[in-house]
Amino acid sequence: MELIKDLPEIFEEFAEQRKNSFLAIKQLKENGVPIVGVFCTYLPQEIPAAMGAGVVGLCSTSDETIPDAEMDLPRNLCPLIKSSYGFAKTDKCPFFYFSDLVVGETTCDGKKKMYEYLADFKPVYVMELPNKQSEDGYEMYRREIIRFQKVLEEKFGVTITEEQIRHATKIRNQERVALKNLYGLMKLDPAPMLGMDLLNVLTGAQFKFNKEASAEELEAIAERIQAEYEEGKHLEKRPRILVTGSPIHGAASKVVKAIEDNGGVVVVFENCGGVKSVDELVDESNPDIYEALAKRYLNIGCSCMAPNPHRFTLLRELIKEYKVDAVVDVALQACHTYNVESIGVKRLVTEEFHLPFMSLEADYSSSDIGQLNTRMAAFIEML
């Protein structure tokens, strides 16, 4: 795919992709395509994709509807949960409006309880997620994936074949490879682009419904960035930051902006929705496709796992490969598992790698931006 637009224009289009896809999801719905709304990267999207469904992420990252959500939910709940529920309650999210089925997962106690109330607005199915990455856990999730497939078949009156699942798996793997090639460019030093531009592409790609075309577009963007880098078009030397922890899309991206407005550059995102979400491919050679899907998805290093060795293994690799100068660990307000796990991340960063480390808690409001900039300016200056 040839890209004739300037890179800043391309990055801006990805930043607006979630809004731009509102019309696309409406068109799919009008064409009779079933729509499945999902919340978490643990959910194997290959299964609904295999039956030709449009799969769209429902997690919301704005504080717009949080006051509406707080009429039903506790104020001291995670902003992602409140925002998602609020958009469903107020019917302000086209993705939720057009979804024929909403699929949750048991990654978080707050989300589990929220799903009970979400069922007042839409049909909801909740997948049981093991809390441990073990052989027993893999087998349990394998059974759960098969159960999920049967739910889809019964609801939509279809038969999902293994051939269809393997085809969907191949396409998703192609997109993962394209994403890995793109964010892998940030190993270059100086960095070829701002972390905010990379975050916009990673986020926007989630709302591209034609995954084959998305992979081609991502590959073309990566080639374009590489070519311009070789022509000398890149950032000046800046302190290289790894960001880890809770999802930081939308309003929470204020953390990334604070880092980069104060002289740093985020070269890699280990957060949910970042590298950890696409790092591992599904093993297409496995004769048991359900086992392959279960292992690939359950290996995601989210703090809901106890213990969570995959997160720390990936962090070690990323710190080395991206020549990181410091690590910033972000936990959304009331995201208890990430808050608790922060001490383990700190020990890894400061004791094993002897690097500067910052942990912070964020919500979706703009009231802390001044304080955030002050803290980040001091942190970057120290580097």
Whether residue 83 contacts residue 62, with contact meaning beta carbons closer than 8 Å, is answered with yes
Q: Positive or negative CA dihedral for 223, 229, 230, 233?
A: positive
**Does residue 61 surpass a pLDDT of 90?**
no
Residues forming beta bridges with residue 360, ordered by sequence position: 330
Q: Please indicate whether residue 223 or residue 18 has the higher confidence score (pLDDT).
A: 223
Q: What are the tokens at 33?
A: 């395509």
Q: Which of the residue ranges 13-27, 189-203, 214-228, 286-300 would you say has the lowest mean pLDDT?
A: 13-27
* pLDDT on residue 255: 96
Taking only the tens place, the pLDDT of each residue in 114-160 is 999 999 999 999 999 998 899 999 999 999 999 999 999 999 999 99
Confidence of residue 295 (pLDDT cuts 50, 70, 90): very high
SS3 326: strand
Using CB atoms within 10 Å of the CB of residue 291, give its burial: 0 to 12 exposed, 13 to 18 middle, 19+ buried.
middle
What's the pLDDT tens digit per position in 17-56? 888 888 899 999 999 999 999 998 999 999 999 999 999 9
Taking the mean position of all CA atoms in its chain, how far away is CA 138? 22
List the CATH code of the domain at 7-161: 3.40.50.11890
Higher pLDDT, 222 or 5: 222
pLDDT averaged over every residue in the chain: 94
Q: pTM to 2 decimals?
A: 0.94
Q: What is the pLDDT at residue 4?
A: 61
Q: Give pLDDT, residue 9.
A: 86
Percent of the chain with pLDDT over 90: 85
Q: Give the pLDDT score at 3.
A: 58
Please check the confidence at residue 10 and state whether its pLDDT lies above 90. Answer: no
Neighbouring residues of 154: CB distance < 8 A, sequence distance ≥ 6: none
